[in-house]
Amino acid sequence: MYNINQNYAVLDRPKVPRLTNSHTHLPKSSNVTMKPQLYEGDEDLDEYLAQFEILAEINGWNYATKSLYLAGSLKGGARALLNELDKESRKDYNSLVKVLDNRYGSAEKSELFRAKLQTRMRGKEESLPELAQSIKKLTRQAYPSAQSTITSVLALEHFIDALQDADLRLRLRESNPKSIHEAETLAVRLETLKLAERQKGRMVRQADSVQTNAKFNTELNDDKGEDLKSIKK
């Protein structure tokens, strides 16, 4: 039997709009994991840890996860350091960083880096940007606890001293750059101009040589013409 009360109940029920497929299937949050590279002790530890911290922030790792990833990223001699830690310290990020810093950190090798910095010279095929980058890295390693203003001045001085070209060194000192970046930019410009002048001089010499040869050939042909005239006579 038809129940009129049920009909009124249906009419009184609030109408809810039906959701299409585009609304029912909400987009899932991206969960892309960027794994850190393996560390064996050959690379600069500060640079590796700086990148590791960035990856940890991108992936949203908590302290425990970050500790486990760092321990799992060790290889070779660096991995052997895990044996120097107890079971709990192997899973502790600060403990891992401390033992790595004691073995591979710049503080323990500052004297070695200072010696390398003092004797650093520009290689034969080394570009000026490569030299500047190497000098900045060596300066940070040689003076790990120094302020950035001090390392900036030291890097500038060592960059100029590392140049083999005496004329380029003199021009840079006369220009009095304020930073190694400014000195690098100026050195690249001066070296480019010097190379262009050298190329221009080479082209002028080649043009003079061609002109001289042409003149010689003309005179030679004139002499042959005179000889032929003499023979005919």
Contact at 8 Å (CB) between 56 and 69? yes
The residue ranges of every structural domain in the chain are 45-105, 109-192
Q: Which residues pair with 39 in a beta bridge?
A: 74
Please report the pLDDT score of residue 4 as a whole number. 47
Q: What is the pLDDT of residues 180-224, one digit of tens each?
A: 999 999 999 999 998 888 887 666 566 556 565 555 556 556 655
- At 126, is the pLDDT very low, low, confident or very high (cuts 50, 70, 90)? very high
User: Which has the minimum average pLDDT: 31-35, 86-90, 170-174?
Assistant: 31-35
Contact at 8 Å (CB) between 144 and 150? no
Task: Please provide the CATH number assigned to the domain covering 109-192.
Answer: 1.10.1200
Contact at 8 Å (CB) between 180 and 155? yes
Please report the pLDDT score of residue 8 as a whole number. 44
CB count in 10 Å sphere of residue 192: 11
Rg (CA), the chain: 37
User: Which has the minimum average pLDDT: 23-32, 79-88, 99-108, 158-167?
Assistant: 23-32
DSSP annotation string for 121-189: ---TT--HHHHHHHHHHHHHHHSTTS-HHHHHHHHHHHHHHT-S-HHHHHHHHHH--SSHHHHHHHHHH
Please report the pLDDT score of residue 209 as a whole number. 61
Longest Cα–Cα distance of the chain, Å, equals 146
With a cut of 60, say whether residue 173 has pLDDT above it: yes
Report the distance separating Cα 90 and Cα 79, nearest Å: 11
Interhelix angle 148-161/180-232, rounded to 10 degrees, is 20
Q: What is the pLDDT of residues 67-120, one digit of tens each?
A: 999 999 999 999 999 999 999 999 999 999 999 988 888 776 888 889 999 999
Q: Which amino acid is at 59?
A: N
Degrees (nearest 5) of the Cα angle 107, 108, 109? 95
- At 33, is the pLDDT very low, low, confident or very high (cuts 50, 70, 90)? confident
Per DSSP, which regions of 17-120 are E strands?
Answer: none
Stretch 29-38: mean pLDDT: 71
Q: What is the pLDDT of residues 42-60, one digit of tens each?
A: 888 888 999 999 999 999 9
Task: Using a cut of 0.75, tell me whether the model's pTM lies above it.
Answer: no
User: Which has the minimum average pLDDT: 2-6, 23-27, 34-38, 199-203?
Assistant: 23-27
Please report the pLDDT score of residue 198 as a whole number. 80
Please report the pLDDT score of residue 27 as a whole number. 37
